[in-house]
Structure 1
Amino acid sequence: MKYAFRKIELKKRYPLQISRGLISGSTNLYVLIDDEACVGIGEAAPGSGAETAEICEQQLQEYLKDRDIISSPTEAWGDARSSGVAMCAWAAVDIAIWDLLAQRSKQPLFQLLGLPEPSVPTSITIGIMSPDLVRDRIPEILYRTNAKNLKIKLGNPEGIEADKAMYAEVQRTIQNFDVSLRVDANGGWSLFDAIVMIKWLADRQCEYVEQPLKPEDDDQLPNLYRNRALPIFVDESCNFSSDVAKLSGCVDGVNVKLMKCGGITEAVRIVATARAHGLQTMIGCMGESSISIAAGASIGALFDYIDLDAHLNLEPDPADGLSLINGVVSVSGRFGHGGYLIC
């Protein structure tokens, strides 16, 4: 088994402003696993525990020496985590493993996993911005993508009045479009502000609110959940399947991200655990290209909501293999997850 690594710089078409800061791009690590018959490929968007592509590669180079990771992705995931490999780095390996296994079986990955193709339209994320910028940018995004759902980033550091002004302008701007609205505060609200905003948004055609509080304020979720006017999802508060039980009775659903949990192997386990606790599920993404988005789309049929749009905000996307059909991120039908590099 041979491993190869490539680092590619990704640039966002529109920099993404969230409650914690501005994101204009990243350098991601691509991992290729070659068994001489097939080549699986995965992607790591640097994050917690491996803040750069160089650190991701260093961790993986050290870990992968003389190890059999193909025979059991589940055992490999557990061993990598216990060995201190950052899960954002391991996600690239896990995605490449599943891509390789599906290619070996001569099936698209979703078929190997016993799933139908995804059918839920994705959200398109709209970063925090001024009302003037909303009027200019959102029509371009809607015409270009034919999006069915917009996820509006709130939690503006200037406060909830700025959030209200932006959201109200979004509503005015989309009046001639058939599009639904969701909100993600990225932990930018206090408990008091979250109570106020959720009630306010419930009267303004918002479907749900994601991560209203910081993860360190999870102990306040029961108070927010008790009299909620909208469904509450969490993202940063749920990384692994072991996090799900403590959230039961405090939220309505969890957002699964391959970069947080370490790939497809644990993502499927999170879904099963969430279902067992009566929670809804969403799959989201970080700053990723069509490689890891293809992996996420391959398991898209497991989720109630889909937020796989990072590749649509790249200029350019270094990968291909996906299409956007009636708002649905659709895989190509190629063997494996279907994503491939074009540069």
Structure 2
Amino acid sequence: MNFSFEQLALKKRYPLRISRGETTGSVNLFVSVESAGVVGLGEAAPDATADIGTAASCQREIEAFLEASGPVTLDPHDAWQVARDAGLSSYSWAAVDIALWDLLARQAGLPLFRLLGLPLRAVPTSVTIGIVPIEVARERVPEILARTGARYLKIKLGNPAGIDADKAMFEAVRESASTFGVGLRVDANGGWDVTDAKQMMNWLKERGCDYVEQPLPVDANDALPALFSGRALPIFVDESIRVASDVPALADCVDGVNLKLMKCGGVTEALRIVATARAHGLGTMIGCMGESSVAIAAGASLGALFDHIDLDSHLNLAPDPASGITLVDGVVTVPDSPGHGATITC
């Protein structure tokens, strides 16, 4: 197999602010894997707060791994374990893993979802509105909904200014979205303590919120049982779950898990997380970070496995450097063609 790399700068249409800070764009790494004349494409969207925080560091990590380990097996499951044992970051390996699955599907002449034995079926995605001033929310929400035709909004809360600011933000979004008939969800990104989370969940339930994601910080996982007992809304965790082995410890105090390909290391571990979550009777969600349509296509290929979908980062790029997927009635839809369906176009 031959590996090649390309780093591309991605600019967000709107900066995304969450409880931990704001991002305006990123440089992502695109990895191509060629075997017998067929090429698979993957993507890493590094997290600036992680140990491997840049596209350049992801590329160096992958190149060092390839030099040390020798040829990579075409079996993504075996390759994922070798990479995990070698200590590769999830962001770096996600790019390789996605490329391997794309390559296998292209070699088989099948869409990735068919290679995995899945139907082309999915629930509509949420689109995200970050923490912004009230007047900005009132302007931005109608534009986003009119442009995308989305059927759900995910509202970022956990404002460092406190829950009064969160309430004002939610009300502004709800009012601005009222004529569109969309569902509302909330992601606090670990921005609340237990007291605030309980109060906000009761308050949000009265205003039609569907669920709350990551209400508490990761270092407050031990407080989840107290929040879970008597909860007003379903609780999904995101940052608290990285790989499948993290699921059992929280299975009795959450309603569901949100996996991300960048966070878990690609399609291979995503399949394991879904299986583990289902075995524990939990709901499933797939989210995203700062990916283009390349990694979003890989995630959307798994769409039939999820109760909730939050694959919208490509919709906030100006421009998206890749193409191939479409938004149909709010559903991120991959083409019925070999591979995950996305290609680099600029």
Tell me the TM-score normalised to structure 1 length: 0.99
Counterpart of 1:292 in structure 2: which amino acid? Answer: A
Counterpart residue number, 1:269? 272
User: Alpha-carbon deviations, 1:295-316, whole Å to 9, x = none?
Assistant: 0000111000000000000000
Counterpart of 2:124 in structure 1: which amino acid? Answer: P
Counterpart residue number, 1:205? 208
Counterpart of 1:162 in structure 2: which amino acid? Answer: A
Aligned partners of 2:272, 2:163: CA distance in 1, in Å?
A: 36
Aligned partners of 1:106, 1:75: CA distance in 2, in Å?
A: 22
Counterpart of 2:13 in structure 1: which amino acid? Answer: R
Counterpart residue number, 2:20? 20
Counterpart of 1:87 in structure 2: which amino acid? Answer: S
Aligned partners of 1:51, 1:163: CA distance in 2, in Å?
A: 29
User: Would you say 1:82 and 2:85 are equivalent positions?
Assistant: yes
Aligned partners of 2:114, 2:72: CA distance in 1, in Å?
A: 22
Counterpart of 2:11 in structure 1: which amino acid? Answer: K
CA contact (8 A) 2:191 2:216 kept: yes
User: Would you say 1:2 and 2:2 are equivalent positions?
Assistant: yes
**Paired residues for 1:123-142 under 5 Å:** 123-142=126-145
Counterpart residue number, 2:323? 320
CA contact (8 A) 1:118 1:329 kept: no
User: Would you say 1:109 and 2:112 are equivalent positions?
Assistant: yes
User: Alpha-carbon deviations, 1:125-149, whole Å to 9, x = none?
Assistant: 1101122111111000000000100
**Paired residues for 1:176-255 under 5 Å:** 176-255=179-258
**Paired residues for 1:17-166 under 5 Å:** 17-47=17-47, 48-65=50-67, 67-166=70-169
Q: How many residues align?
A: 343
Aligned partners of 2:106, 2:79: CA distance in 1, in Å?
A: 19
Counterpart of 2:271 in structure 1: which amino acid? Answer: V
Aligned partners of 1:289, 1:119: CA distance in 2, in Å?
A: 19
Percent identity, please.
58
Aligned partners of 2:235, 2:66: CA distance in 1, in Å?
A: 39
CA contact (8 A) 2:90 2:264 kept: yes
Aligned partners of 2:255, 2:234: CA distance in 1, in Å?
A: 6
**SS state of the match for residue 176, structure 1?**
helix
User: Alpha-carbon deviations, 1:187-222, whole Å to 9, x = none?
Assistant: 000111001100100100000000000000000000
Aligned partners of 1:118, 1:158: CA distance in 2, in Å?
A: 40
Tell me the TM-score normalised to structure 2 length: 0.98
Aligned partners of 2:89, 2:174: CA distance in 1, in Å?
A: 40
Structure 1: gaps (5+ residues) = none
1:68 deviates by 3.5
Counterpart of 2:66 in structure 1: which amino acid? Answer: L
* Match 2:333 to one of 322, 330, 333: 330
1:20 deviates by 0.2
User: Alpha-carbon deviations, 1:262-310, whole Å to 9, x = none?
Assistant: 0000000000000000100000000000000000000111000000000
1:75 deviates by 1.5
Counterpart of 2:60 in structure 1: which amino acid? Answer: Q
Aligned partners of 1:332, 1:70: CA distance in 2, in Å?
A: 27
CA contact (8 A) 2:43 2:294 kept: yes
**SS state of the match for residue 175, structure 1?**
helix
Counterpart of 2:132 in structure 1: which amino acid? Answer: M
Structure 2: gaps (5+ residues) = none
1:71 deviates by 3.2
User: Alpha-carbon deviations, 1:98-141, whole Å to 9, x = none?
Assistant: 00000000000000000011321000011011221111110000
Aligned partners of 2:263, 2:91: CA distance in 1, in Å?
A: 6
* Match 2:259 to one of 249, 252, 256: 256
Aligned partners of 1:118, 1:237: CA distance in 2, in Å?
A: 28
1:81 deviates by 1.3
Aligned partners of 1:165, 1:290: CA distance in 2, in Å?
A: 33
Counterpart of 1:40 in structure 2: which amino acid? Answer: G
Aligned partners of 1:3, 1:174: CA distance in 2, in Å?
A: 45
Aligned partners of 2:62, 2:206: CA distance in 1, in Å?
A: 48
Q: How large is the RMSD of aligned CA atoms in angstroms?
A: 0.8
